[in-house]
Structures are given as structure tokens and as C-alpha cells.
Amino acid sequence: MTRHAVTPYGRGAGSSRVRVFSWIDRLRLPVHTHSYLSHHNADPVQLMRQPGRVLAAERELRALVTGRPEWLLLHREASPLSRGGLETALLDATAFGVYDFDDALYCDWGEGAPWRRLAPKARKALAAVRKADRVIAGNELLADWASSIVPDVVVVPSCVAVEHYHQKVDYGLSDPPRLVWIGSADNEPLLSTIARELLELNRRYRARVTLIGTTRRSLGALEHIIDRIGWSEQIQHDALATADIGLMPLHDDPYSRGKCGYKLLQYAAAGLPAVASPVGTNASILATLGLPGAGSAGDWLDALQAILELADSGRAAVGRRARKRVTDQYSYDAWMGRWQEAVGLRPARAAAAPNIEDDPP
């Protein structure tokens, strides 16, 4: 059987790497991957700079439709230029087609820049869900939406390769105390939502923030307490364990509620205590990992200060518990059987995946 995987981004994009490439690599699957320009995003500037490659990518996807593949895994969207027709054609032409998504794409009708309204992700997600033989959703909220349209929906969270992360062993506070945030330039403004609290922690404890992502300064007054590190896969595996507390603030809106909490899983994989907004799936992940949520500005300051004030042994207990639980309930090894069943690589079994508990013992 010839297998194909279609994703709009290359390995440099977290969603494609975590939900497509890492599974293919781990299982050593003979899969032909189609990742458009293999870039980490689909920024219009990138598309305009490379018209030849864009044309080649569009032709390749249409040739795949004509070839009528036996097995296809489509992640998020096929093309940034499509309005849903290409995703429909691909899944319609495939003998067994699986659609995978990890964000509330159904909320994204192209707000913001005018060009985004030309090919909204919501239209493509709806078209793909309707045509797929099976849908894989990154969390229960996304699955609820998909299940209102089609019956065959499976939840597989965005898993983390715990064994790749350097494990924190020294829980004595850094000098100065070190908070950490990891992510893309698009999401950096979320740190501004807790700017006052971070600046207050700097005033009280001299705490600083390590930002693993872009090296471009964009956060105004916060920049004088931020140390930036350019992202790479190896850096993310090594650098988290050198911090004291992980950060994951979120807006409380429909799109954010659909996120899969991946930053939290990364912090836990490194054995790092963390604080996050208890929005959407974050709330259940926090409960499972035994980490504190912060729903307001005051909560953020209290939660971060409480961790800083813990004895070294207390921080160690929090971090090690989180690492154990993320290994048991959100690792690739824990979900391998369920993913293989979901994509049709082996028959389904009655209890093939861990039970993610909202209130674990």
C-alpha cells in the first residue's frame, strides 16, 4: 500500500512535527510526505517570494488527487490557497482518508489581515471533516465539534517525546530566578497579558524570563527582563530544564479554548513546575499534571510566587510528578496503539489508550 501524508508546514512547525512527522519517524512508516513549501508557516510573504515552488506544490497536490491514493493522512489543510475544494478532492479520491486537526480551526474565518479572508481555515476544516473516513481531534472540545458533523471521531492528544527532553535535576532556584516561555512570534504577545505580574516578580525576586522562540525584540517594557534564545528542536529539548518555572498564559476565547496545551506538556517533560491559564483543555492538563492554574492577574502573581517560595524539595516534587504523569498519559509511547488504530494501520482494540483523568490520584 502506498501511503501519503499532507501537511501545510514542514518540520519546523510545531503542529506538523508533533502530529505528523514524529509519528512517521517513530513508527518508521513508509509514507510520502507533502508539506507544501516545507516552511514553518504559510506567510503570504513567503508564498510571494517563491512563486515557482508554490506552483510546484499546487501541481503536486493535484497530481496526488489524480493518482487516487489508497491511504492519506491530511493534517489541518492541504494548501494555504485552497478554499476547501482541494481538501475535499484529496479525501474524496482516497480509499481511506484521515483528517487530523489540533486547533479550533472552525473558528478561524479570516479575521485580521484581508488576505486571510480569501481562504479561511474554517471553510477547509469543515470540508475536510465532512469528507474524511475518520477524523482525529487533538482534544475533547475539538472532537465535540467534529462529532456534531460526522460520527467517526477519535481523540489523540498532541503527544510529547519525553525521552528527548533533558530532565531537570537541580531544583534550587537560579540566581536570578528564571521563568521560561517557548513558542512562535505570533504567540509572544500573550506574555504581555501578564506583564505587570512578571515585572513585579522581577522587582521582588529579580526574576527574569527566558524566551525560546524568535530573537526579535517585540514586547516593549518587558524586554529589559527577557533573555531571548532562538528556537531549534535541540534547544527546546535542552533549555527548559535550566529554568525554574514554565509559563503558558492564554486568552479566554473560542480559539484559545481549542488549543492542545502543548507548552504545558513540554514543561512537564523537562520536569519543570509551570503555571498556565486554565482555559479549555489546559484546565484538564493542569489537573492531570498537578500544576496550578491562574485565571486572573492576581492568580498569576500568587501562583508564581508560591512556587518560588517553595523549598527545593517542594519544587522537585511538583516537577517530578508532572514528568511522571506526562510520560504515562501524554507520551508517544502511551498513545502509539490508539494512533495506529485511528489511522487504520491496525484493528481497533477495546482499551488502547490511557485514561486522561480530570482529577488523578
DSSP per residue, 192-227: GGGHHHHHHHHHHH--EEEEEE--S--SGGGGGGEE
Question: How does strand 71-75 pair with strand 3-6?
Answer: parallel
- Domain coordinates of the chain in residue numbers? 3-159+332-342, 162-329
Residue 320 CA to residue 252 CA, distance in Å, equals 29
Architecture of domain 3-159+332-342: 3-Layer(aba) Sandwich (3.40)
Strand partners, 71: 3, 96
- The structure's pTM equals 0.93
In the chain, the amino acid numbered 153 is V
Residue (of 300, 240, 229) closest to 266 by Cα position: 240
Contact 275, 198 (CB under 8 A): no
Residue by residue, pLDDT tens for the chain (361 residues) are 789 999 999 999 999 999 999 999 999 999 999 999 998 888 888 888 999 999 999 999 999 999 999 999 999 999 999 999 999 999 999 999 999 999 999 999 987 667 777 899 999 999 999 999 999 999 999 999 999 999 999 999 999 999 999 999 999 999 999 999 999 988 999 999 999 999 999 999 999 999 999 888 989 999 999 999 999 999 999 999 999 999 999 999 999 999 999 999 999 999 999 999 999 999 999 999 999 999 999 999 999 999 999 999 999 999 999 999 999 999 999 999 999 999 999 876 654 456 554 433 2
Domain 162-329 is found in CATH 3.80.30.20: no
pLDDT at site 228: 97
Strand partners, 331: 160
Contact 187, 193 (CB under 8 A): no
Residue 184 CA to residue 100 CA, distance in Å, equals 21
pLDDT at site 351: 47
Question: Maximum distance among all alpha carbons in the chain?
Answer: 64
Beta-carbon neighbour count of residue 89 at 10 Å? Answer: 19
Domain 3-159+332-342 matches domain 162-329 at the CATH topology level: yes
Note the residue count of the chain: 361
Residue 90 CA to residue 63 CA, distance in Å, equals 10
Cα atoms found within 13 Å of the Cα of residue 131, Cβ hemisphere only:
23
Residue 111 CA to residue 266 CA, distance in Å, equals 29
